[in-house]
Structure 1
Amino acid sequence: MKEKYSVLIPDGDSDLLIVVIHCLSQNKGYKLFVVLSEKHKNKEITHSKYINEIFVTEPLNESNEIEWIKNLNTIAEKHHIDIIMPIDVFAIRCLLKNRTYIKDPDKLGLLPPLKSFDKADHKGELSKLLLDIDLPAPETLLFDKNEICEQTPSFGFPVIMKLFEGHIGGGSGIQVFNNSESLNLFFKNNTVVGPYLIQKYIKGYDIDCSVLCKDGDILAFTIQKGTMKGVSDFVPQVGVEFLFEKDVYEVVKKLMKSLNWSGVAHVDMRFDITDKKFKVIEINPRFWGSIDASLIAGVDFTYFYCIASKGIVFEIPKYNHVKYLNLLGLKRTIKQNKWFLFNLKFLLNNTPLKFFIKDPKPFFYILYSKLKKDLQNNH
């Protein structure tokens, strides 16, 4: 069966494009096509030598979904596309909702049922599912929009608050509260315009599981533990270490089976040092920002996604237990220890640098954009 494919990424506006291209570029003979909106037609990754052609269209929104898919049909037919591979949430949901408008549905890569996708993507629905199937998760209270949390959570403090959608007046993002006074003060000074949850803060460490599935069965996976925090506790780690934890795998296996999941997903988890359990925090039902780290560990999720989408059967690939730093983690490490610059083996094998060395134009454009922005800010 053919294993060299022409791949169309319909949502090239996504910030995930650069890491997905890094991975896809490792597959010799693949032809890569990308759809961008006018707003993003000059983004840095468009200068990659690995992109065969870029198509500029109207940005996808709820009012033009059918036209957007018809445009994909035209591109797929004209350029003999083998696989349509959406990489981010909005495009995945659009294609799931409007699957009947896809002229050749066999070209669409592995995707989950729409109901499962929405359940995974919605923090409240996921919380209910975890309770229903008896999987470890933080204790949670769910609230409707404009509803004020007046009771003291029975599970005590500290707690975090997460939005399902929308924004918070006077602030945004995940909020942390150490006592009832700070929680009450927040609601006194802010209006929550969307549904939200309040969840027990788990004392422990981050551990994640990335998967590729078909009909609920795991085809490929990696497990990675955070080793270096980002700018806060609630953003992706800038350093990870790959390992195997049987309990993590069993939790994710049961979760994916319950969703009858197909396609990729990244399950955020946290080890609770109090009760010694790995607890599910959320699911990113899309490709993820550290997919290049999984590649470095030995699992190219883009490759396995393509061949699985075409019905090729393979054994679950093994991965190496290695450490990885993204560019921010590398910058921080070098700042702390300038001699780390001479650890060439690690720099070339355990960071994204090798991808930029092989395809330098996007990296230079990123540096140029940053320098230009810094100069503007200084003036």
Structure 2
Amino acid sequence: MNVGEKKISVLVLKGHINLLPFIVNCLSQVKSVDIYVISNNKNEGVGRSKKIKNISYYPNTIDDIEWVSNLNKELEKFEIDLILPIDEYGISTLIKYKDLLHQSDKLVLLPELDAFYLANNKGRLSKHLDLFNIPAPKSVLYNKNEICKEPPIEFPILMKPLEGLGGGKGINLFNDEASLKSFFLSNKVDYPYLIQNYIKGYDIDCSVLCKNGDILAFTIQKGTLAGDSEFVPNIGLDFLFEEDLYNVVEKLMNSLNWSGVAHIDMRYDESDKKFKVIEINPRYWETTEGSEIAGVNFPYLHCLTSLNLSFELPKYKHVKYLNLKGLSKTIRTNGLFLFRLNFIFNNTPVKYYLKDPLPLLFIIYYKIKNMFRG
């Protein structure tokens, strides 16, 4: 890829979700990229990374205008080519207040605000999927404080908040009417939510980079190792290809005229043999490093297409991947896995810390320190 010879300075914005280490690790694989960062946390390990040319800290603020103002200060200090927001807050705020940016032409490719809000709201997304005949679970919407007494969907069912939380938080599974009634007797539901039929099958996801609805890069990954609970992200993945799934995602992204990155949570339904859209994360994702290891560096490609530099649809390797939590869990289960050095160095994030160990050592230090505090 000859475009890699072009020097690029990228300002990465840490918002409310800590995706920063994943993005920095991916961008740092390209020598021609200079990484600048705005963060609100001086105690995070990534701040010690030698991969970052400059990191500036600003205190947490609930004022969007002030947040954009802090960004403008950084743009005045440094010669930045691109501004890269990585989570829901940063992306939605910069779409909304783009006109307040002193150098708005340096903002990476992002979706339209209405498309972002639609993708980020499970209720609106459910209606959109139905309108465009895109495979999805059956869903029924409920208002704030409304009690679901007899759902018009057969058990088992899932209850999900329409917005916010993320990472599987706030999702409840009910196998029968008794468990549903018990939940509402002991919980106040002061947020809108949906009831959805539980799909018997397996999790499988698709990560994409798009421009005006066209997919420029993608990876498909199937969960192989669950996290601490059923609905949190998987910590082990198999990268593979499923044509039927890709066709569903292609139709979805086109229907949204999507630009920028997204991570689509899907599930294979054993009953009708279809891949169904569960939700869209309109941001970067925790396994972004896994995609880079498989051969698709989404943050870098996002930068290239934002600079109108073209590239061929990248092919990715069908490999296994464990994030650091997955590696730790696997070693605890099977101590001999520690001796699979080739896999550990090539199929986990360990490779990012071999030449830059301080961020990881800092994280380990704080975890041990908090353990003794507890």
Residue aligning to 1:296? 293
Q: Deviations over 1:149-169 (max 9, x none)?
A: 122x333111010012478xx
Q: Secondary structure at the match of 2:85?
A: coil
- Is structure 2 residue 101 aligned with structure 1 residue 102? yes
1:20-169 to structure 2, matched below 5 A, reads 20-37=23-40, 40-61=41-62, 64-151=63-150, 153-165=151-163
* SS of corresponding position for 2:110: coil
1:277 matched to which residue of 2? Answer: 274
Aligned to 1:207: 204
1:336 aligns with 2:313: no
Counterpart of 2:301, as a letter, is F
Query: What is the rounded CA distance, in whole Å, between the counterparts of 1:55 and 1:176 in structure 2?
Result: 42
Instruction: Tell me by how many angstroms 1:140 deviates.
Output: 0.7
1:9 aligns with 2:7: no
Unaligned runs of 5+ in 2: none
Partner of 1:315: 312
Name the TM-score, length of structure 1 as normaliser: 0.94
Q: Deviations over 1:167-220 (max 9, x none)?
A: 8xxxx6211100011111211221100100010001100000000001111000
Preserved CA contact (<8 Å) 2:15 2:90: no
Please identify, of 224-233 and 4-13, the stretch whose mean Cα deviation from structure 2 is larger: 4-13
Corresponding letter in the other structure for 2:109: L
- Is 2:109–2:211's contact at 8 Å kept on the other side of the alignment? yes
Contact 2:327-2:348 within 8 A present in 1 as well = yes
Residues 13 and 36 of structure 1 are in contact (CA less than 8 Å); yes or no, is this contact kept in structure 2?
A: no
* Alignment partner, residue 232 of structure 2: 235
Distance in structure 1 (CA, Å) of the matches to 2:222 and 2:157: 23
**What corresponds to 2:261 in structure 1?**
264
Counterpart amino acid of residue 152 in structure 2? S
Tell me the secondary structure at the aligned position of residue 314 of structure 1: coil
In 2: Cα distance, 1:237 partner to 1:10 partner? 25
Q: What's the TM-score once normalised by structure 2's chain length?
A: 0.95
Residues 234-274 of structure 1, C-alpha deviation per residue, up to 9 Å, x if partnerless? 01111100000011111111111111111100000000111
Contact 2:147 2:184 in 1 (8 A): yes
What secondary structure is seen at the aligned counterpart in 2 of 1:373? helix
Q: Secondary structure at the match of 1:148?
A: coil
Matched, 1:190 2:190: no
Measured against aligned partners, the alpha-carbon deviations of 1:269-290 in whole angstroms (never above 9, x if no partner) come to 0001111110100000000000
- 2:368 is aligned to 371
Instruction: Note the aligned Cα RMSD (angstroms).
Output: 1.4
Whether the aligned pair in 2 keeps the contact of 1:166 and 1:194 (CA below 8 Å) is no
Q: Aligned partners of 1:254 and 1:131: how far apart in 2?
A: 13
Q: Which consecutive segments of 4 or more residues in structure 1 shift more than 6 A?
A: none
Give the residue type in structure 2 aligned to 1:360.
Answer: P
Would the aligned equivalents of 1:12 and 1:34 in 2 still touch at CA under 8 Å?
A: no
1:304 Cα deviation from its structure 2 partner: 0.4
CA distance in 1, matches of 2:113, 2:176: 39
Q: Is the 8 A contact 2:15 2:89 kept in 1?
A: no
Larger mean Cα displacement after TM superposition, 360-369 or 5-14:
5-14
Q: Single out whichever of 73-82 and 139-148 deviates more from structure 2.
A: 73-82
| Deviation digits for residues 309-332 of structure 1 (CA, Å, limit 9, x no counterpart) | 100111110000000011121122
The alignment covers a number of residue pairs equal to: 368
